């Protein structure tokens, strides 16, 4: 009986010691957010209008009408950093869109290189209501990022809306 109690105490003390020694993991942090209510901070305001009626949240959404395929740079997010996982979250909807529409994240490195991040599997076409989308890229330690550019890729013709854009940075484990 004593040995069972002793073993139980050893296990509990061991578990407490193991959890106390774990380094605290920094929670994900929102680096940038754009509500898309205005044309402020847009890279190509001439290609976009603010639709005050069709927003997913807030007072407006970015509306783009394409007659032919185009990539429209929307926001440049300055955030030098390394050793982190970046998640770009946004909402998108389409109407009468012939082709595929999706978001693209360009990770711009201090060395001058660039990595395009796209997710064709979440592309929208035809007509859809607002859908949550995200793009993820991990920047390894030693890689320095100058900025991240978010673009809407309109691979056809029709109307596309983007709203509620967030860039989130999480440390690597």
CA distance 143 to 43: 25
pLDDT digits (tens, 9 = 90+) for 94-137: 999 999 999 999 999 888 899 999 988 899 999 999 999 999 99
> Tell me, what's the pLDDT at 27?
85
From 98, 108, 135, select the one nearest 120 (Cα to Cα).
Answer: 135
3-state secondary structure 18-71: HHHHCCCCCCCEEEEEECCCCCCCCCCHHHCEEECCCCCCCCCEEEEEECCCEE
CA distance 88 to 152: 13
Give helix then strand counts, H and E, for the chain. Answer: 1, 8
pLDDT > 60? residue 3: no
On whether the CB atoms of residues 77 and 167 are closer than 8 A, the answer is yes
Token readout for 127 is: 């007509």
List of domains in the chain = 26-171 (2.60.120.260)
For residue 69, how many other CB atoms are within 10 A of its CB? 13
> Tell me, what's the pLDDT at 111?
86
């Amino acid at each position: 009986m004593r040995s069972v109690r002793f073993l139980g105490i050893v296990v509990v003390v061991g578990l407490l010691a193991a959890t106390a020694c774990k380094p605290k993991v920094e929670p994900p942090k929102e680096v940038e957010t754009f509500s898309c209510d205005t044309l402020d901070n847009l890279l190509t305001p001439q290609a976009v209008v603010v639709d005050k009626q069709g927003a997913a949240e807030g007072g407006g959404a970015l509306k783009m009408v394409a007659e032919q395929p185009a990539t429209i740079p929307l926001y440049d997010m300055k955030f030098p950093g390394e050793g982190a996982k970046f998640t770009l979250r946004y909402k998108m909807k389409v109407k009468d869109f012939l082709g595929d529409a999706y978001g693209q994240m360009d990770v711009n490195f201090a060395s001058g290189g660039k990595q395009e991040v796209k997710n064709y599997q979440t592309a929208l076409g035809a007509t859809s209501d607002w859908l949550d989308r995200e793009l993820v890229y991990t920047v390894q330690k030693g890689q320095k990022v100058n900025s991240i550019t978010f673009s809407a890729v309109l691979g056809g013709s029709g109307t596309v809306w983007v709203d509620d854009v967030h860039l989130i940075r999480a440390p690597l484990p």
